């Protein structure tokens, strides 16, 4: 049976598991009993049993003080091979586990839902579009285009809107890659989300029967000096002019009609959106 001993006076940690073999350093050390974390103090390891030395009187006095008990309110879990030393206690996090992506059991094992959708060349936008969402969608578009330039990409949308610049970045990527991008509205495509919906490949823009589409002029806010406010107002006016022209190109409607519709929030049913030219067809529910 292998025996490991640690020299208490060494600057690092020296473990001797077999003749002529040694490891130095902190962190995780490997031995026959598994993966064990060592500290700078003497321990004796035989097989799978670890016997730490008794704690020093100074450590016991510090742990018994009220200040130390008040400073460590987290729950503790003592492992059997570490009992007898508060220093080696593993403490649980005060908060719960971090959120995890939904997982699906496949013949190849467990896979997260996003990976399975990407294998089917499906990208889902289900939140307001900001720079992080735009980065994710653009990365997925470029990746799917690099995998296969001939197969279509489906973009599912249930989006209340978002940043104009981030939406235009996604649209530029949709127009830049070679595969055709089909857009499908689930639930709601509002504000700049409607621009993504209408910006898909013509003939491949769809909506579910109970979905809603809303278009309006871009919103903005500004503050500061008069010159700064003037520049910000000019930027918002230029953004509205650009978006109105894009809607006119997507729908085939005259620019004056589009400007009338985007003057205030204008809601469309799925059939009205198809009649206006924002989408090309309705998808009937299968179930």
User: Which residues are catalytic, by number?
Assistant: 191, 216
Per-residue burial over 185-206, b if 16 or more Cβ lie within 10 Å, else e, is bbbbbbbbbbbbbbbbbeebbb
Q: How far is CA 230 from CA 23, 221, 223, in A?
A: 67, 11, 10
3-state secondary structure 13-50: CEEEEECCEEEECCCEEEECCEEEECCCCCCEEECCEE
Q: 181 near 152, Cβ under 8 Å? A: yes
- Picking from 231, 234, 166, the residue whose alpha carbon sits closest to that of residue 195 is 166
């Amino acid at each position: 049976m292998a025996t490991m001993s640690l020299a208490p006076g060494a600057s690092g940690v020296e473990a001797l598991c077999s003749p002529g073999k040694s490891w130095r350093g902190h962190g995780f050390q490997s031995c026959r009993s598994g993966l064990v974390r060592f500290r700078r103090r003497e321990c004796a390891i035989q097989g799978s049993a670890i016997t730490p030395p008794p704690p020093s009187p100074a450590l016991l006095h510090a742990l018994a003080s009220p200040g130390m008990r008040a400073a460590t309110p987290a729950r503790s879990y003592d492992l059997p091979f570490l009992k007898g030393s508060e220093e080696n206690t593993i403490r649980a996090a005060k908060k719960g586990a971090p959120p995890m992506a939904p997982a699906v059991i496949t013949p190849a094992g467990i896979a997260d839902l996003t990976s399975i959708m990407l294998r089917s060349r499906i990208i889902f936008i289900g939140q307001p579009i900001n720079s992080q969402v735009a980065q994710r969608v653009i990365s997925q578009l470029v990746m799917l285009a690099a995998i296969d330039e001939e197969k279509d990409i489906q973009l599912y949308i249930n989006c209340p809107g978002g940043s104009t610049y981030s939406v235009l970045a996604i649209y530029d990527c949709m127009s830049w890659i070679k595969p055709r991008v089909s857009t499908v509205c689930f639930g709601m495509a509002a504000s700049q989300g409607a621009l993504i919906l209408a910006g898909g490949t013509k003939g491949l823009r769809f909506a579910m029967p109970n979905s809603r589409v809303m278009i309006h002029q871009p919103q903005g806010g500004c503050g500061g000096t008069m010159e700064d406010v003037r520049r910000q107002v000019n930027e918002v006016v230029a953004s509205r002019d650009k978006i109105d022209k894009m809607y006119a190109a997507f729908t085939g409607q005259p620019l004056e009609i589009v400007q009338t519709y985007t003057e205030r929030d204008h809601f469309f049913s799925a059939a009205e959106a198809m009649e206006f030219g924002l989408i090309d067809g309705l998808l009937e529910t299968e179930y």
